[in-house]
Amino acid sequence: MPVTVSFPGVYIEEIPSGVRTITGVATSITAFLGRSLRGPVDKAATINSFGDFERIFGGLWADSSMSFAVRDFYLNGGSQAVIVRMFREEFDNASQIAAHNKALTAAGDVAGAVKGTEADAKAAAAAALAKAAEIQGSKAEKAAANAVARAAVAASQLKNATVASVKAAADAAVQEAADRAAGFAKAELSVNGLNLKAADAGAWGNFLRARVDHETEPPTTDLFNLFIRDDQTGQLESFRNVSVLPGSPRRIDKLLESESKLVRVETLPASRPTPHGTTPDEGKGIWDDNSTPTNSKVTTKFSSDGIDLDQEDLIGHENDNRGLFALKKVDLFNLLCIPPYRKPGPPDNNDVDQAVITRAITFCKQRRAFLLIDPPLKWKDKDQARDGIGDLGEPISYSAVFFPRLRQPNPLRGNAVEDFAPCGAVAGVFARTDAQRGVWKAPAGLEATLIGVPELSVKLNDPENGELNPLGINCLRSIPAAGPVVWGARTREGDNRLASEWKYTPVRRTALFIEESLFRGTQWVVFEPNDEPLWAQIRLNVGAFMNNLFRQGAFQGKTPREAYLVKCDKETTTQNDINLGIVNIVVGFAPLKPAEFVILKIQQLAGQIET
């Protein structure tokens, strides 16, 4: 710190060097959008392995192409991913009403067919099954009828089945069917007046169980213990000495909101819920050896896994940060993958909508990120790819398309070979190449092998590759001895006819890396006096960062003068700029040929006294 010279002697003062090291940002954090079995909805979650994805989002799921893309990402060298789970409720009001009505009809048929004997009860149950099979309505209607039929079958198998027992079972199934048909986003369960709901949407919540006891320490008239179990995963949460009273430091709704990963409170009872069991021994046990809850309460309102997403789910919620715009809260991501979000079926509707691609590219441009585009399902050969490239929106350098799709065994369907979107595997190759060589190295070639990919959906040869590559379509090829590899590194602006300086993927991604690094590393410039000492410090720090990249082989040229430039002086910052509090930094680098620079002009506000 500065010292005041007030007496004869030796003074020591530490002088700052003026060096502010600029750290390069990550280059391959990949964001994925789509459906999953479980996990938070419309909230970006960072994971570091596929094990994290299994634990938080449920792992592979046949109805989620995103889950397979995430798997391929980590198989091929990916390290960090950001997952945004989206959910679309299954049923609307019209199908709920129709399901309820058909459930009532089926229940009446069951009750009316029973004459009073066990044989008649079984015959009535069989008739109910047949009735359910005949219903050709919506998925909700079928679910309602099947629920009634199952209940009737269960009642008919009782030792003393009667008209009343079968009718009671059928009537109970009507309510169950109505609840299921309602398609609640979050399953609900009740624990003697304490109404809970699953923390996140999805059918996983149907497997939650809860129980209460009063074995608190010390025993009081207000506190109780709550236990929650997920029967699918075996996960158990225990909350001891909790209360429902206002003002309590351990009020159960606040505690679950901050600590539970399974449930939230829907409504609180006026007093603590009564314990399960009628004897002290029943109240002490939690779950028996067979993982069956002892006297525990099960789900009362069921949820479904939702249905296929629509383009509105991805791009229609910018103001409330849903879908694609949930990534607005993420500090940094470099690559964006949007795997197909609908099930395949006629017509070819398993493709990402063009409106989604266009909006995603615009969003990537704002966030200095790069979009990986999957080929449409209808691209069955090189001719369809050549003719259909215009259907993927405007050719903008912040994206790249890869063709064809991957042909892999599906472990969820007996290892049947199916076609999968390549974006996850390609993103993993990008991450692997960045770690081994750097973001300036093209993520293609014999080293860019696709791990876990036995074959490709379309086999391309050299002449076919030669037709597609000049159009900006990156081909995935099977090369002898190397296997499936990425054999192209062009952006969507890579069509030869455009003659763009952003033709190649490593050029665009290197520019994005430098822009983001300098944006974050020059924040100290704000409010500094805007004159030559500041400009010199900027040249020193930015120049050191660029020189380090040059030494790593990021640029062409034998000398730093040929490889990059950093300019910040009275020529870039005029007196008028100084009056406005603006400092202009010009940074250039030679990605392809020596001294042929790609210029990045960075403008920072400096010397601003007013805030």
In this predicted model, what pLDDT tens digit does every residue of 348-397 receive, in sequence order?
A: 567 899 999 999 999 999 999 999 999 998 899 999 999 999 889 889 99
> Is the pLDDT assigned to residue 578 strictly greater than 70?
yes
Q: For position 367, what pLDDT does the model report? A: 95
**Residue 544 reports pLDDT greater than 90:** yes
The average confidence (pLDDT) of the chain is 83
Give residue 162's pLDDT band: very low, low, confident or very high (50, 70, 90).
Answer: low
CA 310 to chain centre: 16
DSSP output for 24-86:
PPPS--EEEEE--SSS-BS-EEEESSHHHHHHHH-S--TT-HHHHHHHHHHHTT---EEEEE-
CB atoms within 10 A of CB 106: 29
Give the residue-averaged pLDDT of 40-69.
95
The token pair that represents 277 in the structure block: 């069991």
- pLDDT of res. 233: 87
pLDDT for the residue numbered 553: 92
The answer on pLDDT for 515 being more than 60 is yes
pLDDT on residue 134: 56
- The beta strands (E) that lie in 545-581 are given as 564-567
Q: What is the DSSP string of 167-212?
A: HHHHHHHHHHHHHHHTTBSS-EEEETTEEEEESSSSGGGGGEEEEE
User: pLDDT for 114-150, tens place per residue?
Assistant: 445 556 666 666 666 565 555 545 555 555 555 555 5
Confidence of residue 181 (pLDDT cuts 50, 70, 90): very low
Burial label for 515, CB within 10 Å (0-12, 13-18, 19+), is middle
Q: Is the pLDDT of residue 339 over 90?
A: yes
Q: Which residue has the higher pLDDT, 30 or 2?
A: 30
pLDDT confidence of 109, banded at 50, 70, 90? low
Residue with tokens 């680098």: 589
Q: What is the CATH number of domain 524-605?
A: 3.30.360
Which whole number is the average pLDDT over 304-318?
83
Q: In what order do the strands lie in the sheet with 406-410?
A: 416-420, 406-410, 455-456
In this prediction, residues 185-208 reach a mean pLDDT of 87
pLDDT at residue 465, as a whole number: 94
pLDDT tens per residue, range 465-512: 999 999 999 999 999 989 999 999 999 999 999 988 899 999 999 999
For residues 142 and 250, the model is more confident at 250
Best CATH choice for the domain 30-87+309-506 from the list 3.40.50.11780, 3.30.1490.100, 2.170.130.30, 2.60.40.10: 3.40.50.11780
Whether residue 514 is predicted with pLDDT greater than 80 in this model: the reply is: yes
Q: If residue 551 lies in a helix (H) or strand (E), which one and from where to where?
A: helix 532-551
pLDDT value at residue 280: 38
Q: Does domain 188-301 have CATH number 2.60.40?
A: yes
Residue 93 pLDDT class (50, 70, 90 cuts): very low
Share of the chain above pLDDT 70, in %: 76
More confident residue, 100 or 207: 207
Confidence (pLDDT) at 281: 38
pLDDT computed for residue 278 by the predictor: 41
Give the residue-averaged pLDDT of 85-91. 81
468 C-beta neighbours (distance < 10 Å), count? 21
Q: Output the pLDDT for position 484.
A: 96
Query: What does the angle CA 5 – CA 9 – CA 13 come to, to the nearest 5 degrees?
Result: 55
Rg, C-alpha atoms of the chain: 31
What mean pLDDT is predicted for residues 63-74?
96
**Tokens 């009273």 found at:** 245
HSE-CB for 463 with a 13 A CA cutoff: 1
% of the chain at pLDDT higher than 90: 53
- 370 closest CA partner among 409, 414, 416, 426: 426
**Average pLDDT score over residue span 430-443:** 95
Spatial strand order of the sheet with 208-213 comes to 208-213, 224-230, 236-242
User: Residue 307: what pLDDT?
Assistant: 83
pLDDT reading at 423 higher than 90: yes
The structure tokens listed for 551 are 């030494």
Cβ–Cβ < 8 Å for 239, 256: yes
Residues 478, 462 contacting (CB under 8 angstroms): no
Question: If pLDDT is split at 50, 70 and 90, which confidence band does 282 have?
Answer: very low
Q: How far is CA 607 from CA 301, 578, 582, in A?
A: 61, 8, 8
Mean predicted confidence (pLDDT) in 328-338: 96
In the structure, what pLDDT confidence band is assigned to residue 312 with cuts at 50, 70 and 90? confident
Tokens of residue 497, six digits: 């006819």
